[in-house]
Structure 1
Amino acid sequence: MSRRTAGPESGLQIPALRPLLRWTLLALGAAYVLASLAGLRLDRAALPWLAYLPPLAGFAFMAAVFASTLRAGSEPLVTRVARREHPRLPDELRSYTRSLTATWAAMFVALLIVGIVLAFATPFPAWARGIQALAVVVPAILFLGEHRYRCARFPQYTHASPLRLFLNIVAVMKDFATGARATKLPLLTCSSLAAPLLIDARDPVSVERYLGQVRALAAALPEDAPVINLCESRHGFLVAFGAALSGARVSLLPPGQARGDWERLLASHPGAIILGDPPPQDVRASHLDVRPYLGLDVRSREIPLIDADRPAAILFTSGSTGEPVGHVKTWAQLWNGAEAWAQALGWSGADSIAIIGSIPPQHMFGLEATVALPFRMGVPIHAHKPLLPADVEGALRDGAYSYWWMTTPIHLRTSLASSAGIARSGGIVSSTMSLAPAIAKAAEARWGTAVFEIYGSTETGAMAVRRPSADPRWAPLAGLTLVPGPESVRVEGERLGEPVTVHDLLEFESDGRFHWKGRAADVVKVAGKRASISALDRRLLEIEGVEDGAWYAPEASDGEVRRLVAFYVSEKVEPETVTECLRREVDAVFMPRPLVRVARLPRNANGKLTRAALAALVEQSHSPERFTIAHDHPAMAGHFPGQPIVPGALILGRVADVLRARFAQRPGTLATARFHAPLAPGESVLVEAHREGARVGFEVKRGETLVASGTWRLE
């Protein structure tokens, strides 16, 4: 689904004036302080009230500066200073620095109030001397006293000297005045270069070894060529991604591994080089096998610095025309987004945390969860991509780490059905499709941990988080503001750059949390009523025993759909039960006709269902199937010698095979059956089947001639 990006409107751009205003006010404040220290005085007789304004305006401005960074979506000013000492700031220091920012804001408010009161009670010369003294002494006492208090309260952390702290404050205030962001960001953070980055029981990879492999591969890549990263192993993808990023090359991440996915990227990005482990066969473009670099035992102690605003990756989604639509992500966007992730998940002291991912990194959720997050927070990641429940639990049993499992609702459901629940994890994070609260609760009970769900898009990355078992509402991530519209929401935040409009239906509450009601683009109209396909999918998935499900709305030239189709996967729940559950939750006009039980849904590697795949499934569920009984079939022997005809039981047996393959259920009771014309061996016939609930009506035709018909009840 293509989404529009909201850009700046024409006219005066107020944000461009903010750095000038900030610099002007800071310069005036600095000039006043220097003049005060030099003993200069304004002439109160000539300018009776203006003489009071500079110090009072300075107090008001500084109070506003500190207070403005406490608003939702902004990082407190003292927290920014602390990050210059501790890039991976622990939660307790993050909370402390936020409170300290509020304390500084309150101090300047208090100085402003004292200054105003004394102006009415004290002669101007005494007022000027007193205010000058307060403006220097009170901040100095707070500055030095807080430094001593912090060193005593948090002895487990290193603390910069007062001089270094002062220089850090000056640097942060400069960035604040100019609105500047970091121009360089590291490829990764780590507690030690010898610490593991990729966890593998057979051959773990340390940070310095990974950096050595990245440097070696980067040297082998052509200059300025974009990279199409098709590596399927976690190790291969990370080395290829790091090599491209450190060499100022952008990584093109296709939506799938099919030949058509990357061939379209080659056509639109001439000169791109394909990296794989191994690359696809018969590649006619420039390509490189990453595998030899993964075995190199080389070391590098230099962490590359990356231009913060340089495009790091371009992810592709399918637009309304079916052509891939690229979405550029800078390294700063991924870096800052990962920081917001860690804060939302409550990570503190990430020393014992590790990540295990069941998702490919070419998808936005996978890129954030299994690349940006471990790189930003300095935590290791499991080198493999376990999909089977036994593989997941085998990885989680590693007691050296508190694993956070990044997965999808499909993997979570499958593991719930097969897992013994012996292993434990630090947390579970799910995305790519709606997670039913019942599944989240079952997973929490099985693995004894919290299950979180991420709401996001390729255009924005992660936008909000929730814990479905505890609260159905979503909480926006730090640094983002969601502004609701009639059928869309505008997402704003420094890390996004320009605002992004997401065409989702959200219902906000007074505290800023919201309920997701579906996507505006998949709203369908049936019998004059409207409903979201995504919301209907959620209703289907909430039925106990349903493992997977999806609705499909056939194309309608007049914009109004005549009927909806729904598919579901379950080994336990019969169609009648699903239909009955849906009737309690869904308006009658949206009830699926038919409801089809299938063995699996055609999801891609990212867990997504394309409209084309669902359309093919609809066609398959209604398409006739052909069979022919050969002359030498054993059932023909002795059956009307000289003029053989196919026995009716054999015809019904073939019909049963067709129904079993099409509906993933074994036919049970044959309700009715009629034979209208004989069928000779060697004659080809078609079986047409139409399902209504648990009953299937069938017709067997030879050309235009009806051979047999009837109804069958599925088990």
Structure 2
Amino acid sequence: MSDVAPPLPLLGHACLDAALAWRHGERISVARFLGDVHRLAALLPPGGHVLNICADRYRFTVGLAASLLAGKVSLLPSTHTPETVRQLAAFAPDAFCLADGACDIDLPQFQYPELAGPDHAGPVPAVAADQLVACVFTSGSTGMPVPHRKTWGALVRNAAAEAERLGLSPAAPHAIVGTVPPQHMYGFESTVLLALQGGGGFWAGRPFYPADIAAALDTVPRPRVLVSTPFHLRTLLAADVALPVTDLVVSATAPLSGNLAAETEARLRGPLLEIYGCTETGQTATRRTALTAEWQLFRDVRLSVEDGQAWAYGGHVEQRTALGDILEPTAADRFLLHGRSVDLVNIAGKRSSLSYLNHQLNAIPGVVDGSFVMPDDEQIDGATRLWAIVVAPGLDRGALLHALRERIDPLFLPRPLLFADRLPRNATGKLPRAALDELCRRLRSDPA
């Protein structure tokens, strides 16, 4: 008797006429998508690895599926800096870049072509469960990207668990609008894979400004899902734009405050679910942040904590994996998140975390954005001092420090406290440490 798992379908849609995407005002069916996939698969150049940088979410997804059918592995690094690209080329010397616009990446390039042709009329392709689909990368301790290999079977199980938790299925297809890029693990899972396996469709663009997000939501049919980040949600709610009814909001990449979650639910008139996960494991848990601080694990995923180290295993997590967060199990399938292990701050014997301090800073009325920074070597009288950089046009330094004193221990007050017009967040709302350090150095040398 064979233990080989059967192939798994590329799509979970109920029929070929079902919607897979909305692009430039056009509804794109599954049949049209599969036709484009087969045409692109036949045109892709030699090379077993693809760096897919297509900005258009539909073209990215066609490229992903075409690469999959052609037996090529998609490379999904967190950045495309020249050094990262050099390291990718060393990792996969046969890699080429699939782009749908101007590209200055130092790899052989293949421009996304025109793919006019008939719709697909045959069966939905199936893919071997053990086929390698993608390598996603985290930053190693040496600065070298560390690859994490994702098979089709694990990705399908992950997407199925997420669809189940979010209530998405071919019987109740949703239209997904994402503010995060499809190349990022969160965007990859919750806009691309969730649509492919959950029987729904997605908006092909990536709206950034509040008016564009509202317009995209208004364009797609209900039920609608907004896949976003705390930074994008905070910006959206602060803008003076009318927001259409959104049946579900999904957030990840950074912890979300209960107040922001409650305001989001009230303004968008739908529940908000926050996702917990990491590149190594994929998504593993959710919580309704407006109602509870507890996270609930996905079906079949398990958590153990041994000597303070949290481990995830089971379900789509193919091997027992160490997590970089401080977790407190509260039940067999539930836990509390107490921050990143690397976020811990110890000053004069008192402990806190950067996540907690950032939450308190951003909860101050008038603060648009802000972040604490643990400098590498900053000490005053032998004690470590934190920095903070803040966007708060209507506040002065004295008022902000006074508000912070009411929220955090004085030992953790930032010295210096720097003001900026904006923080250097990337496409997923995160703050790359190198960019933050550079901004801090510039502001300290030119405080005016």
After TM superposition, the score normalised by the length of structure 1 is: 0.59
Q: Does the C-alpha gap of structure 1 residues 594 and 194 become closer, same or farther in structure 2, counting only changes over 3 Å?
A: same
1:215 equivalent in alignment to 2:42: no
Residues 429-457 of structure 1, C-alpha deviation per residue, up to 9 Å, x if partnerless? 01111212111111111111111111111
User: Which residues of structure 1 form unaligned runs of 5+?
Assistant: 1-173, 625-657, 660-715
Q: Write the mapping of 1:254-333 to structure 2, written as runs, cut at 5 A.
A: 254-278=77-101, 280-281=103-104, 285-293=107-115, 295-296=116-117, 298-333=119-154
The CA deviation at 1:207 is 0.9
Residue identity matched to 1:299: H
Aligned residues: 446
Q: Is the 8 A contact 1:357 1:382 kept in 2?
A: yes
Q: Does the C-alpha gap of structure 1 residues 212 and 524 become closer, same or farther in structure 2, counting only changes over 3 Å?
A: same
Give me the whole-angstrom Cα distance separating, in 1, the residues matched to 2:198 and 2:366: 38
Query: Could you tell me which of 591, 594, 614 is aligned with 2:416?
Result: 594
1:365 corresponding residue in structure 2: 186
Larger Rg over CA atoms: 1
Query: Could you tell me which of 59, 62, 67 is aligned with 1:239?
Result: 62
The CA deviation at 1:338 is 1.1
2:442 corresponding residue in structure 1: 620
Q: Is the 8 A contact 1:350 1:377 kept in 2?
A: no
* Greater mean deviation of Cα atoms: 425-434 or 295-304: 295-304
Query: Could you tell me which of 281, 290, 296 is aligned with 1:475?
Result: 296
1:428 equivalent in alignment to 2:242: no
Q: Is the 8 A contact 2:378 2:384 kept in 1?
A: no
Give me the whole-angstrom Cα distance separating, in 1, the residues matched to 2:288 and 2:403: 25
1:63 corresponding residue in structure 2: none
DSSP 3-state at the match of 2:416:
strand
Q: Is the 8 A contact 1:525 1:561 kept in 2?
A: no
* Greater mean deviation of Cα atoms: 387-396 or 534-543: 534-543
Query: Could you tell me which of 361, 366, 381 is aligned with 2:202?
Result: 381
Give me the whole-angstrom Cα distance separating, in 1, the residues matched to 2:314 and 2:268: 35
Residues 402-446 of structure 1, C-alpha deviation per residue, up to 9 Å, x if partnerless? 110000111111111114334111110011112121111111111
Q: Is the 8 A contact 2:168 2:198 kept in 1?
A: no
1:506 corresponding residue in structure 2: 327
DSSP 3-state at the match of 1:508:
strand
Residues 204-229 of structure 1, C-alpha deviation per residue, up to 9 Å, x if partnerless? 22111111111111112245521111
DSSP 3-state at the match of 1:498:
strand
Residue identity matched to 2:438: A
1:75 corresponding residue in structure 2: none
Q: Does the C-alpha gap of structure 1 residues 264 and 522 become closer, same or farther in structure 2, counting only changes over 3 Å?
A: same
1:228 equivalent in alignment to 2:51: yes
DSSP 3-state at the match of 1:492:
strand
Q: Write the mapping of 1:24-423 to structure 2, written as runs, cut at 5 A.
A: 180=3, 182-200=5-23, 202-223=25-46, 225-278=48-101, 280-281=103-104, 285-293=107-115, 295-296=116-117, 298-347=119-168, 350-398=171-219, 400-423=221-244
Q: Is the 8 A contact 2:57 2:204 kept in 1?
A: yes
The CA deviation at 1:297 is 5.0
Residues 2-57 of structure 1, C-alpha deviation per residue, up to 9 Å, x if partnerless? xxxxxxxxxxxxxxxxxxxxxxxxxxxxxxxxxxxxxxxxxxxxxxxxxxxxxxxx
Give me the whole-angstrom Cα distance separating, in 1, the residues matched to 2:34 and 2:376: 51
The CA deviation at 1:264 is 2.8
Residue identity matched to 2:110: L
Q: Write the mapping of 1:653-692 to structure 2, written as runs, cut at 5 A.
A: 659=448
1:583 equivalent in alignment to 2:392: no
DSSP 3-state at the match of 2:237:
helix
Q: Is the 8 A contact 1:456 1:463 kept in 2?
A: yes
1:567 equivalent in alignment to 2:401: no
Give me the whole-angstrom Cα distance separating, in 2, the residues matched to 1:201 and 1:270: 36
Q: Is the 8 A contact 1:224 1:249 kept in 2?
A: yes
1:58 corresponding residue in structure 2: none
Residue identity matched to 2:391: V
Residue identity matched to 1:610: P
Residues 184-242 of structure 1, C-alpha deviation per residue, up to 9 Å, x if partnerless? 11111212112221113533221111111111111122455211111111121011101
DSSP 3-state at the match of 1:251:
strand
DSSP 3-state at the match of 2:284:
strand
Give me the whole-angstrom Cα distance separating, in 1, the residues matched to 2:258 and 2:304: 26
Residue identity matched to 2:40: L
Q: Does the C-alpha gap of structure 1 residues 520 and 422 become closer, same or farther in structure 2, counting only changes over 3 Å?
A: closer
The CA deviation at 1:585 is 3.0
User: Which residues of structure 2 form unaligned runs of 5+?
Assistant: none
Q: Does the C-alpha gap of structure 1 residues 279 and 533 become closer, same or farther in structure 2, counting only changes over 3 Å?
A: same
Q: CA RMSD in A?
A: 2.3
Give me the whole-angstrom Cα distance separating, in 1, the residues matched to 2:272 and 2:4: 34
Q: Is the 8 A contact 1:357 1:386 kept in 2?
A: yes
Q: Is the 8 A contact 1:309 1:330 kept in 2?
A: yes
DSSP 3-state at the match of 1:490:
strand
The CA deviation at 1:356 is 0.9
The CA deviation at 1:277 is 0.4
1:548 equivalent in alignment to 2:369: yes
Q: Does the C-alpha gap of structure 1 residues 489 and 418 become closer, same or farther in structure 2, counting only changes over 3 Å?
A: same
Give me the whole-angstrom Cα distance separating, in 2, the residues matched to 1:561 and 1:355: 48
The CA deviation at 1:573 is 4.2
Q: Is the 8 A contact 2:397 2:417 kept in 1?
A: yes
Q: Is the 8 A contact 1:218 1:243 kept in 2?
A: yes
Q: Percent same amino acid at aligned positions?
A: 37
Q: Does the C-alpha gap of structure 1 residues 246 and 225 become closer, same or farther in structure 2, counting only changes over 3 Å?
A: same
The CA deviation at 1:488 is 2.3
Q: Is the 8 A contact 2:169 2:199 kept in 1?
A: no
DSSP 3-state at the match of 2:221:
coil
After TM superposition, the score normalised by the length of structure 2 is: 0.93
Q: Which has the higher contact order (CA 8 A, sep 6+)?
A: 2
DSSP 3-state at the match of 1:509:
strand
Query: Could you tell me which of 295, 307, 322 is aligned with 1:486?
Result: 307
Residue identity matched to 1:456: G
Give me the whole-angstrom Cα distance separating, in 2, the residues matched to 1:495 and 1:544: 41
The CA deviation at 1:506 is 1.3
2:316 corresponding residue in structure 1: 495
Give me the whole-angstrom Cα distance separating, in 1, the residues matched to 2:368 and 2:284: 26
Give me the whole-angstrom Cα distance separating, in 2, the residues matched to 1:592 and 1:602: 19
Q: Does the C-alpha gap of structure 1 residues 203 and 246 become closer, same or farther in structure 2, counting only changes over 3 Å?
A: same
Give me the whole-angstrom Cα distance separating, in 1, the residues matched to 2:288 and 2:392: 25
